[in-house]
Amino acid sequence: MIRKSLFLLPILLIALLSSCGTKTEHPNRVVIGIPSDVNTFNPLFASSVDEGQVTELLYLSLADFRWNENLGELEAHPMLANSWKWAEDSSSITFYLRDDVMWSDSIPLTTEDVVFSLDVYSDPAVSSRLYGFFEDFYTDEENHIDVKKSFIVQSDYELQINFKPGSTPKLIDVVHPVIPKHIFDKYDRKDIETADANFNPVTNSPFVLKKWDRNQTITLGVNENSFLYNPENINELIFKIIPDYTSRLTQLKKGEIDLMELIATEDIEEVKNSGIVELMTIEGREYDYVAWNNIDPNVYKDGGGITPHKLFGKKEVRIALTHAINRKEILEEYLYNYGELAATPISPIFKTYINSDIEQYNYDPEKARKILAKEGWRDSNNNGVIDKNGIEFEFTLNIPGGNPLRSYASTIVKNNLNAVGISIKVETLEMGTLIDKLNSKSMDAWMAAWYIPIPIELKVFWYSDLQYSPLNFASYQNKKADKIMDELTKNSTMDKKKELYFKFQEILHEDEPITFMYWKSNIVGVNETLRNTGIGPFGAITHCWEWSVEN
């Protein structure tokens, strides 16, 4: 008997609760669904994309960078600084701060905080995420900024920063989220990492952290004293952590969350049918590729240095492989054309620098076979696999697990290559194992993606001297490209840069070190009641204090 009534109780409660907690009680609240929780609110340590987005909502910088879509360029606007002035020779810059910015504990923000921030960012004892990035500053042997030489504090709101002679400083290298000196000064530098202040942040933005339910929700409220505060806009921002993609999608369609990124292309119809969700896309931040190890892994492993890979060493072979792969089919059939074919690592969003004269290597298995045959690859022993000098054209293609697009593409790649007489085995690797093998350059071929930085970075991906290109996993070698990359690190006019970028794209296209597949769109679902979301290449969750809800 008791047992029977136990069953009834939850049902009663469910009936009670079904009517609670609806949108009407919180008209200016926005809920964003994210796949994983953050581990810190301190911009010093934010390492994942999610963490970066949340911390930059809490800690503003001296300048605010927005994306100019027409030019395809970053533009700096005033934020914590009203203005700034470069010296004639770019050896120093002076910032004029706002005088009305308060930390959320009502202490005014001054140039002391800016100096402290840069000091801590470069301090080896702290190991912040920006450690090692301050080559333009006066630093000691441990890459720590020399505070005395670098900063001249003219007043509470005027700061001059001096750079190392011969360096080429850019605004974006200097402007980082400002952290409160009066809070973090109390700690020993090496203890900052585990400081409690990381989990109860004192912020300088229009948002404050109201509540943090680990692995459940992050609730941000507004700070009415902030200079960016607008009573018409949202007053509560909640990040709801939903690791399972399908759950996230369901909640988006039901209106339980208002925003979600990275929607899969096959779910677009469903989302549109919900009637309450609008779809927006963020283009050109990520491209997929099939990498061919340009060098022989065995020789490299034994310390023998750089020798061409016996299968992929020649660029003609790599171009043939690109011709053999039906990239368009994947783009059409899986991505439903949300994206575009890629030819070089320069994203089409950089409108000024993208070389549109570059012609794609289209899907043409006949051509692929001809090129391979010309290079000496024929099926001499009639086993269905082409060979040359006794070596069969067979290899293993590694892909990271858990990515449906990559699994899909790898199947098509496999079948496409089989059709031109290449034997290929696809192996899924766990991320850690894959990264390990990437570093040791021991794989023959793999499929992965690059999330490209803004502004454009090339050296770290394509430089021949592997010491300077830790991300050049395919070990691409080309002296001409190196020269261009070196030139680009210097300050030059936009026309000169355009010339250099154009040339770089030509060289890379000729060499085809990897098969560039396609630029993918990040499909963002936004509840139709949200206004002014400003979704662009920087992300979907940037200037949230400008959002408003229309009822």
Partner 1 sequence: MKFQPKIWHLLLFFWITIIIFRFDLLIELVVLWARYFLLFISDFKSAMQLLDFSLIDAILSVKLFIIIPTILFLFRKNNLWLKSSLNFSSLTLVLLLLAFIFAPIITNENPEFQKDLKMTKLLAPLSSVKVLHLNKKENAQKSSLEKFINYKNKIIKPSYNEDIIFVNNVEVKSDHIIYSQKNLQKEINISDVQIKNGIPFVTSKIFILGTDEFGRDIFTRLIYGARISLLVGIGAVVVSLFMGLSFGFIAGFKGGFIDTIFSRLTDLFLAFPIIYFIVLILALFGNSLLSVIIVLGLSGWMGLFKIVKSEVLAEKNKDYILTAGMLGQTNRKILTKEILPVIFVPIVVNIVFQFSNVILAESALSYLGLGTGNSYPSWGAMIESGQRYIMKAWWMISFPGLILIATLFSANDFGKRLNETINPGIQK
Partner 2 sequence: MNKEFLKALLKRIISSLITLFLLISLLFILIRLSPGDPTQKFLSAEFSPELIKKVTADFKLDQPLYEQYINFVVNIFKGDLGISYNYRMPVLSVVWQFLSFTLLFASLSFLIQIIISFYLSIKSIRKKGTAFDKVVSKLSLIVYATPAFVLGVFLIYLFSVQLNLFPSSGSKSLDFDSFSIAGKIGDYFWHLTLPIITLSSAGIAMFYKYLRDNLDETYQQPFILNLRASGYDEKVILKKHVLPNAIRPLISVAGIELGILLGGALITEIIFGLPGMGRLMLNSIFERDYPLVIGCALTAGLIIIISNFIADLIKMKLDKRMIKGLMN
Q: Quick one: which of 5, 14, 89, 479 contacts partner 2 (CB under 8 A)?
A: 14
Per-residue tokens: 303: 């310390």
Which range in 70-78, 151-159, 361-369, 425-433 contacts partner 2 by CB under 8 A? 425-433
Measured distance CA(220)–CA(203) in Å, rounded = 11
**214-247: buried (b, 16+ CB within 10 Å) or exposed (e) per residue?**
eeeebbbbbbeebebeeeebbbbbbbbbbeebee
Provide the sign of the torsion angle of the four alpha carbons 150, 155, 159, 162, taken in this order: negative
Q: Determine how many CB atoms are found less than 10 A away from the CB of residue 54.
A: 28
Measured distance CA(288)–CA(286) in Å, rounded = 7
Which range in 63-71, 122-130, 487-495, 498-506 contacts partner 2 by CB under 8 A? 122-130
- Between 270 and 487, CB nearer to partner 2: 270
- Between 362 and 532, CB nearer to partner 1: 362
425: contact with partner 1 by CB under 8 A: yes
Which partner from the list partner 1, partner 2, none does 143 bind, CB cut-off 5 to 8 Å by kind? partner 2
The count of residues interacting with partner 2 (CB under 8 A) is: 62
Say if strands 236-241 and 29-34 run parallel, antiparallel, or are unpaired. parallel
Nearest to 185 by CA among 248, 241, 115, 134: 115
The count of residues interacting with partner 1 (CB under 8 A) is: 34
20: contact with partner 2 by CB under 8 A: yes
Which range in 191-199, 298-306, 376-384, 528-536 contacts partner 1 by CB under 8 A? 376-384
Residues with Cβ within 8 Å of 27's Cβ and at least 6 positions away in sequence, in order, are 549, 551
478: contact with partner 2 by CB under 8 A: no
Which range in 188-196, 401-409, 522-530, 537-545 contacts partner 1 by CB under 8 A? 401-409
Which range in 85-93, 102-110, 315-323, 430-438 contacts partner 1 by CB under 8 A? 430-438
521: contact with partner 2 by CB under 8 A: no
- The interface with partner 2 within residues 21-50 (CB under 8 A) comprises 21, 25, 31, 39-40, 45, 47-48
Q: Quick one: which of 34, 372, 452, 540 contacts partner 2 (CB under 8 A)?
A: 452
83: contact with partner 1 by CB under 8 A: no
Q: Quick one: which of 410, 477, 527, 542 contacts partner 1 (CB under 8 A)?
A: 410
> Which amino acid is it at 422?
I
Measured distance CA(312)–CA(445) in Å, rounded = 9
Which partner from the list partner 2, partner 1, none does 427 bind, CB cut-off 5 to 8 Å by kind? partner 1
One-character DSSP codes across 319-388 = HHHHHHS-HHHHHHHTSTTSEEE--SSS-TT-TTT--TTPPP----HHHHHHHHHHTT-B-TT-SSS-EE
Which partner from the list partner 2, partner 1, none does 415 bind, CB cut-off 5 to 8 Å by kind? partner 1
The alpha carbon of residue 519 and the mean position of all alpha carbons in its chain are separated, in whole angstroms, by 13
DSSP single-letter state for residue 295: B
Residue numbers at the binding site for partner 1 (CB under 8 A): 245-246, 264, 266, 270, 329, 332-334, 381-384, 401-402, 404, 407-408, 410-412, 414-416, 418-419, 425-430, 432-433
